[in-house]
Amino acid sequence: MEVRESITDSVDAELDRLISRRASTDHHPDPDELEPGYVESVRRHHEKIRQRNRWEWVRFFDRMAESHARIAQDYERRAEELCTDEQRRTT
């Protein structure tokens, strides 16, 4: 158990060191990021990705709805078969 605690402590210390070092570095924005054309291009790109993802989700849920409808139909058919089999046995 002491070995795990020792490893955990050393990992925590290493993470703290990396976070502190990352936070202390001076981050200057990329000059390209300041150009209006670049910013607009990135916005359009992200919008295209969002739109594509939105349509993928729509397609996914359409396929799920179709699948569930088929399963429901199959269960209904099975239930009807069981009811008719039971009626045959009782008559």
DSSP 35: S
Q: How confident is the model at residue 8 (pLDDT cuts 50, 70, 90)?
A: confident
- Distance between CA atoms of residues 66 and 74, nearest Å: 12
Task: Report residue 7 CA to chain centroid gap.
Answer: 32
- Distance between CA atoms of residues 66 and 62, nearest Å: 6
- Distance between CA atoms of residues 39 and 45, nearest Å: 10
**pTM, whole model, 2 decimals?**
0.49
- Distance between CA atoms of residues 21 and 16, nearest Å: 8
pLDDT digits (tens, 9 = 90+) for 21-70: 776 666 777 777 778 888 899 999 999 999 999 999 999 999 999 999 99
State the pLDDT at residue 1: 60
